[in-house]
Structure formats: structure tokens, C-alpha cells
Chain A
Amino acid sequence: MSRVPLPYNPKILDLFRNPKNLGPMEDATVTAVAGNPACGDMITFYLKISEQEIVERASFESYGCAANIATSSIVTEMIKGLSLEATWKDITWKRVTEEVGGLPSVKFHCGVLAVGALKRAIRKYYEQKGSAPSWLPQDLTFEEKQALEEEELAKTLSKRLKSEAEK
């Protein structure tokens, strides 16, 4: 194992300093969260979705490192004007990583978490609506599973530490 200083690229640095579409959205159609502060990563997405199921606007809030902020921010830009189907199919963690110009490997999970939160938002939209389109898979996608795993891992760790502390 070794450690290097995180070599964030200029695009990530710029998005960290000047995030786009930041903050809550009062008239959001759907809101979804992934991660938790114990993992050091947490993202909230707010989506305004039209009747034609197009993402009209998206915004975010993020607790996390520069990579977390940058990937969340870029997702809100990437999905603007896309249909929910295109959003679901086209926005993967790999594309998000490419779009920010690459991430250090220890930060891949930031892109994964951002897409996990996005996919949760889309599922939640159809749950609220009470019907799901045929392209929406029943099984969780890679990013959703990873988000869930990260949250579970943090819970287990917190519990373990608590029980150790009580011993």
C-alpha cells in the first residue's frame, strides 16, 4: 500500500471551486439521497421532471471531498434536457468519471455514489407515480448496489466501534 497526494485535475478543481446547480430546489418533482456522513460521502439530488419525463432542471447538495462535489455537480449538468430513459441508460459512473476528466482510483466511488443517488431518484419518481416503464429493471444496478453497500459498511463499522467502546 502507498499513498500519493490526490492529483485532482483542473476540471475537478474548477467544479469544486465553482459548483454548478448547487442547493435545494423548492419545486423539485423528486429528491433522493445516497451515502451518509459516516462514510464521508453524501449526496442529495433534486430533479424537476416534466410531464414528458424530461429532466428540466437538476440541483444537488453534497457532503464530501472535492471529487464528490465535482461529480455531483457534473451529473446535474449532464442530465439536463435528457429523458428519464436516456438518463437511466446513458449516465453510468464510468461516463461521469470521463466527463470530469478522470478520477484518482480511490475516488471512483464518488462517481459511483453520484450515479447511485441519481438512479434512486428515478426509481423514486416512478414509485411516486405508481407505475414503472418497461426499461426500468427490477434489480438494482451496479451503482445502486454500491451505494447501498457503502451505507451498510458505514453502519456496520459504526456499530462495531460502538460495541468495542462499550466493552
Chain B
Amino acid sequence: MVENVKELLKAHAGITHEVYLDNENSTIVPQEVVDAMLPYYNQRAYGNPTLTHKPGWEAFETIMSSAQKISGFVGAKILEELTFTPSETEANNLALMGSAFANKNKGKKIVISEIEPINVLHVTELLRKFGFTTTKIPVDNEGFIDLEKLKETVDKETSVVSIAAVNNELGTIQPIKEASSIVKDRNPDAVFHTDASDAYGRIPLNVRDLKVDLATVSSYKILGPRGIGALYTREGVNVDKILEGQIGTQKLWPGIENTPLIVGFARASELAFQNFEINVNRMRKLRNELVDGIFAELSEVKLNGPEGDKRAPDNANISFMRCEGEALTIELSLNGVYVSSGSACSRRLLQPSHVLVAIGRKFSEAHGSILMKTTRYHTEEDITYVLKVLPNAVKRLRGIVGSTGVD
């Protein structure tokens, strides 16, 4: 198997230009972030932050000042409201499970949207085993949640509501402030969580302004290292810890904190926010050129998610009809353009993304979808190159499909 992968890599030998757009699934970590992290592996603050010696105190001080920075960027009141977790996945697990368990005497009904990320969706399925029920709020064909339905659904039994601030696949910016006020109106005891991983660094975000109880942010979604995320927990909100282990500096997550990753997360946040407007405008400009260029070159394409300022600035999700997504990712890779497809092959059927199905896309439209995200590190040349390669790739694959892929 590994031999085959080596051969696949060799097939990429002639590539002249590479553009990485699969920033939904992993990203580069810029050198300045890596540089910030490196000293914390062996030069300073390598101690356990709970222990009484210099490297331990250094670690404690480093973790707290990193937490201070990130707390500031999300709008937390005090740094203790932030819990570092190994990633967005753990933060969402902690938010859902931790608040469901802590508030189980108040109600066992969980409310989420139909298009929540897998690490929320699957946690609610797990919670079913503990007697919790889940109600999913539908979304319209651009991915916006139905606020009327939310109002009807949230009741005295509702203990947790989770709606992502920006949908990771569609870039849809949800009306979180309205949603949280509806929830609190209906039931002041219900805990409101938002996965803000795709909002952080892309749209203005302030947890106090949005009036949310819990919010997830993730390092790798802002070009920080993988393996670190955080959950904001508003002071006074009850959340149980969900893992047991050695007691660290944090109440809600056990184990010894990973100082270099926390430093990387904080540094990546600083870089994203220090020129926020410039960064966001750059992402948006390049994203628009990418989408507009694709629509100018190709017919039978559909944008998934909203247009304009209700869409995150980096997100481009496009369905190419009569073109299967996995084949397209390979064809593009062989030409140096790296993207991901909205469907994953299971044993018998291609499984379409639940998000694309929820906004009413047909299976075949979901199968031909490609998700791309621009970053501030992309250049005009990158987009020009993608617009040279991508239409040809789609045309070649449509040539193989012929009249076959029409349903």
C-alpha cells in the first residue's frame, strides 16, 4: 500500500506550481508560527506548569499569557474562561457532553442545526445512549438556520443548543446573536454553544456581544499548529469535565498542557488579528477571483452556500455537474492544485456530505463538489494558476463521463 502511495507521489514529479486550497482539512503552519514555538520544546518553559520550579513557572506564565491573548481575540472577560483542548473535536465534545451532563437535571433535550460539523453531530448521537434526545433545526438552501423553527423547538426541557457561527463547508455566517437571544428567551437555563472555528480570524467575533455561553476555536483553522483548540466557557456556566487524568492548570481538561502548541496557537491568532481587515480583504478578493473565474470558464457549476457578505471571506464550495469529486481531486493534484471533495467513498456508495444534502443538493451535485479555502498567504499568481488548471481538469473528466452522468 505504501509502495503505491510512493508511486503516486512520483507521478507528481513534473509539477511546476503548487497551490494548496484544502485549508478545511489541514493547513500550512507559517514559518513565523513555527519559529515562535520552537524555543518552548527545549530552551524555556518546557516544565510541567503545575510544578514548583523555574521551567514549571515559565510554562505556567507562558500558558496564561497565551490564554490571555486568545481570550482577548474572542472577547472573553477573563482568561480563566478559556480551556485548551487537543483540538476542535475535543472542545466540541467537552461543550456538548460536559454541559449536557452538568445540566441533566434541567432537561435532556439537545438542539442543533442540521449542518453542524461531525464532531457535534456524532456527539449528540453518543448522548442518545445516555437518555438525551436531539432535535435538528433545518436550514434553507444557503445554509441559514430557520429561526422560527428554533423558537418553536427550544422549550423548558432543552438543556443545550449548539449552532456553528460559520458553517465549515458552506461559509454561511449564522445569525448567532439572534439565535442565542431566542434560546435565552425561551429558556434562560439552556446552555448556548457555538463552534466558532470557522468564524475566528474571518469575521468579527465577540462572545460577550453574541451572548453565547460556550464557544469553540481551533488553532489549525487559523494556520496554527494542529493538535490544539480551545473552549470558551462563560464564567458561571456549568460544564462537567469529560475526561479524567492528572490534574493540570485547567479545571475542565486533565493532563499536562502542551506549551509549544499553545504558543503556536496564540502566535497564529496574533498574526490573524494584527492586520485583521487586510487579511480578510485579501482572502475575500482571492476567493472572489477564484469563484468568478470558475463561473466564467465553465458551465454546469453551482455555488454551494450564500453569496456576498453573509459568506465567510475564505470559503469557495462549488459543485461541478457531470464530474465526480474524487476523480477531480486526483486530476487536480496531478497538476499541483490540492482541494477536497464533499463526498467520501464508503464500501458501496459514495456518501454525500450531510451539509450539502441539508441545503437540498442532489446526490450527484454533492458528489461533484469541491471545497476550497483561501488564506492570506495565497497570491494572485496562485489563483491564475488554479484558473488555468481547474477548467481543463473538469473538461477532461466530463469528456470521460460523456452522456453517462446525467440523472
Interface residues of A (CB under 8 A from B): 3-10, 13, 16-17, 19, 22-24, 33, 36-44, 61-66, 68-69, 105-109, 149-150, 153-154, 157-158, 161, 165
Chain B residues whose CB sits within 8 angstroms of the CB of A37 once the complex forms: 363-364, 367, 405-407
Check A61 against B403 for contact (C-beta < 8 Å): yes
Interchain residue pairs A-B with the least CB separation, the first 4? A40-B350, A63-B405, A37-B364, A61-B402
Asked whether any CB of chain A lies closer than 8 Å to the CB of B306, the reply is: no
Chain B residues whose CB sits within 8 angstroms of the CB of A41 once the complex forms: 350
Please measure, in the bound complex, the distance between the C-alpha atom of A154 and the C-alpha atom of B351, giving whole angstroms: 10
Check B7 against A13 for contact (C-beta < 8 Å): yes
Interface size on B, residues (CB 8 A): 38
Closest to B323 in A: A63
Chain A residues whose CB sits within 8 angstroms of the CB of B345 once the complex forms: 6, 40, 65, 106-107
A-B contact pairs, 10 of them (CB 8 A): A6-B345, A7-B8, A8-B330, A16-B330, A17-B334, A36-B407, A44-B403, A63-B401, A150-B348, A153-B348
Please measure, in the bound complex, the distance between the C-alpha atom of A141 and the C-alpha atom of B359, giving whole angstroms: 38
Q: Shortest beta-carbon distance, B352 to chain A, in Å? A: 8
Asked whether any CB of chain A lies closer than 8 Å to the CB of B343, the reply is: yes
Q: Shortest beta-carbon distance, B350 to chain A, in Å? A: 3
Known: A8-B4, A39-B350. A3 touches B344 (CB 8 A): yes
Chain A residues whose CB sits within 8 angstroms of the CB of B400 once the complex forms: 19, 22, 61-62, 69
Check A154 against B402 for contact (C-beta < 8 Å): no
Please measure, in the bound complex, the distance between the C-alpha atom of A108 and the C-alpha atom of B367, giving whole angstroms: 19
Please measure, in the bound complex, the distance between the C-alpha atom of A16 and the C-alpha atom of B362, giving whole angstroms: 26
Asked whether any CB of chain A lies closer than 8 Å to the CB of B102, the reply is: no
Check B363 against A154 for contact (C-beta < 8 Å): yes
Chain B residues whose CB sits within 8 angstroms of the CB of A40 once the complex forms: 324, 326, 343, 345, 349-350, 363, 367
Q: Shortest beta-carbon distance, B149 to chain A, in Å? A: 11
Chain A residues whose CB sits within 8 angstroms of the CB of B399 once the complex forms: 22-23
- Residue among B138, B322, B364 making CB contact with A38, cutoff 8 Å: B364
Give the interface centre of A41, A61, A63, A154 by most chain B CB atoms within 10 Å. Answer: A63
Closest to B4 in A: A7
Check A64 against B324 for contact (C-beta < 8 Å): yes
Given contacts A7-B8, A68-B324, 15 further A-B contacts (CB under 8 A): A7-B2, A10-B7, A19-B400, A23-B399, A37-B367, A38-B362, A39-B348, A39-B363, A40-B345, A40-B363, A65-B350, A66-B326, A150-B349, A158-B362, A165-B358
Please measure, in the bound complex, the distance between the C-alpha atom of A49 and the C-alpha atom of B350, giving whole angstroms: 33
Check A154 against B344 for contact (C-beta < 8 Å): no
Please measure, in the bound complex, the distance between the C-alpha atom of A61 and the C-alpha atom of B7, giving whole angstroms: 26
- Residue among B1, B349, B402 making CB contact with A4, cutoff 8 Å: B1
Asked whether any CB of chain A lies closer than 8 Å to the CB of B13, the reply is: no
Known: A40-B324, A40-B349, A161-B357. A33 touches B8 (CB 8 A): no
Please measure, in the bound complex, the distance between the C-alpha atom of A153 and the C-alpha atom of B351, giving whole angstroms: 12
Q: Shortest beta-carbon distance, A21 to chain B, in Å? A: 11
Please measure, in the bound complex, the distance between the C-alpha atom of A150 and the C-alpha atom of B402, giving whole angstroms: 21
Which residues 341-389 in B have Cβ within 8 Å of A in the complex? 343-350, 357-358, 360, 362-364, 367
Chain A residues whose CB sits within 8 angstroms of the CB of B407 once the complex forms: 36-38
Known: A7-B1, A7-B4, A64-B327. A24 touches B334 (CB 8 A): no
